[in-house]
Amino acid sequence: MNWQSLAAIAIVLVTIVIFIVRAMRPPKKPGCGGGCGCGR
């Protein structure tokens, strides 16, 4: 296996980990969170 194959596999693995971490993170609440006078 050459270095390009290893680099490609590493990039794919990092991307999968990023997607998993984002999916497990709790969703943000919609809106601005207050302080703008919108009643939230």
Rg from Cα positions in the chain: 19
Helix (H) or strand (E) holding 2: none
Res. 40: pLDDT tops 60: no
Helix (H) or strand (E) holding 14: helix 3-24
Instruction: Tell whether the torsion through CA atoms of 17, 22, 23 and 26 is positive or negative.
Output: positive
> One-letter amino acid identity for 12?
V
User: pLDDT (tens digit, 9 = 90+) per residue, 19-31?
Assistant: 999 999 877 766 6
**pTM beyond 0.85:** no
User: With bands split at pLDDT 50, 70 and 90, how would you rate the model's confidence at 4?
Assistant: very high
